[in-house]
Structure 1
């Protein structure tokens, strides 16, 4: 069931990786088309710093958790899961709102940074990519915790990142045309369900840490109908972090989160009529 178990994390890697890759492609394309290739090494240095910081944050979270007692680990993991859900929820709505203007905004910020000097360019590139990297670090850590002691989340995440890089490169080269508005709408809707599962897992951790009540108050127990080790149990766990034994708090939080966030996300934007669909051969163009 490896192919199923990695899907949720592959989606995280694809979505977050493509956002970061498109940011880089916007900056690179702007410099190439304005004849300032000499600035490219500074941009790549900033991107490298952002990637290194993101990896460092992920490793720091893992090491910090290992040094804790069981209850402290549950509290730590549960709190980070809820923070990660907050990050990804904000990111989904931000990208939905800013997708049409992000290219012009990044080009303007890079132009200003060039006028200020090399250090400003490095810092600007690091911050532009670093935001995506930190969001990814928190969300991936939370998703990996929910999946348990297995390498499959990392495999899925790396697959998603690789696909994002390839896709962004093809878009940059004009080999692929992608309706970015539709892409981010579909992946955003799917990520809402993934985030709902992470939220439920985080609340369960806090219940096990005795921070929240109701650990033994179950909304349902379908372990006999959906065994965790069955192919369909693995499917639901791998994609949505579904647990056959779900507490009332988990169930209520899942339903409320999906109902509210998905409804708001799918509501048409007020500027949609005048702006039209966000179709791009590359956001970098």
Structure 2
């Protein structure tokens, strides 16, 4: 449930920030008449995302055992790729995202109403589709079927509330720290999703070694305890993982955490020639 909450909070806030930038641009440029077009695009993107999540769930529910494992494995591996790309993309694109969105919306306004709807739809649909895929992949290891849905719903509601507070200037949040800490947690969630995908491939018979355990800490980590449920649901840490699962978790988490925490090196700015410097 907490993993789904984190996914909904992180992805939902990104989508909410996108919408707030578009709305603020129209309000400040005195183009309120175009707001319904933006909301139409946002509504279509939300509908597409919900439909995509429902399609994934429906498809998985109507597959045979081995096909189900393969489908879950592919979804888990795809979600790992998407969340990794998203985490690192936000580090580089967050600062210039506002300017790019305003520029695209300005161009769309000149083209007409349909262009505004399409632009708002595309801006939100990417976040929505990622959210649906990540939620489906994280929900595969849940012990209760309703927990992932409750978690992502709460995360989305909180993200909308935070976005509204930021838009109305009622909240002051350091977004850089927010995305850094949630990025760290999402990396660990993605490592668990990747580990679960490898486990599904082993259960489907694609990869060997399902019964070759890396360790057995069931005597220490009681599977029925609440903390075991949290660790399993959040990071897919289990008491009896296979060797290949453990290798997969470490092989993903260690290098990705290193790259994420590594300070970004900025090239020194060379001084402009005297002839190019403006007069005081």
| Residue aligning to 1:3 | none
Alignment check: 8 A CA contact 1:20 1:129 kept: yes
- Residue 53 (structure 2) pairs with residue 58 (structure 1): yes
> 1:234 is matched with which residue?
229
SS in 1 for 2:49: helix
Which of 5, 13, 28 in structure 2 is aligned with 1:18? 13
SS at match of 1:35: coil
The corresponding residue for 1:28 is 23
Residue in 2 that maps onto 1:279: none
* Superposition RMSD in Å: 1.3
Q: Give the count of matched residue pairs.
A: 269
CA distance in 2, matches of 1:95, 1:169: 20
Contact in 2 for aligned 1:55/1:137 (Cα 8 Å): yes
1:207 equivalent to 2:202? Answer: yes
Give the distance between the partners of 1:109 and 1:228, measured in 2 at CA. Answer: 51
Q: Which runs of 5+ in 1 are unaligned?
A: 1-5, 275-285
Residues 6 and 182 of structure 2 are in contact (CA less than 8 Å); yes or no, is this contact kept in structure 1? yes
- C-alpha separation in 1, matches of 2:135 and 2:236: 13
For the 8 Å contact 1:18–1:168, the answer to whether it is kept is yes
2:248 aligned with 1:253: yes
For residues 269-280 of structure 1, the aligned pairs below 5 Å read 269-271=264-266
Aligned partners of 1:217 and 1:248 also within 8 Å: yes
TM-aligned CA deviation for residue 238 of structure 1: 2.5
Q: Would the aligned equivalents of 1:75 and 1:209 in 2 still touch at CA under 8 Å?
A: yes
1:187 aligns with 2:182: yes
1:225 positional shift: 1.8
Larger RCO, structure (CA 8 Å, separation 6 or more): 1
Q: TM-score, normalised by structure 1?
A: 0.92
The structure whose Rg is larger is 2
Partners of 1:147 and 1:241 within 8 A in 2: no
Partner of 1:140: 135
Is 2:211 the counterpart of 1:216?
A: yes
Unaligned 5+ segments in structure 2 are: 270-280
1:129 maps to 2:124: yes
Tell me the equivalent position of 1:97: 92
* Contact 1:65–1:76 (8 Å) recurs in 2: yes
Match of 1:178 among 173, 179, 190: 173
1:64 & 1:165 partners in 2: Cα distance? 30
Superposed CA deviations along residues 185-241 of structure 1, whole A, max 9, x for unmatched, are 110011000110111111101110001111111111222221221122112112212
Q: 1:165 to 1:115 in 2, by over 3 A?
A: same
1:77 paired residue number: 72
Task: Provide the residue aligned with 1:282 in structure 2.
Answer: none
TM-score by length of 2: 0.93
2:146 corresponds in structure 1 to: 151
Runs (4+) off by over 6 Å: none
**Worse-superposed segment, 32-41 or 218-227:** 218-227
Contact 2:141–2:233 (8 Å) recurs in 1: no
Aligned residue for 1:100, secondary structure, equals: helix
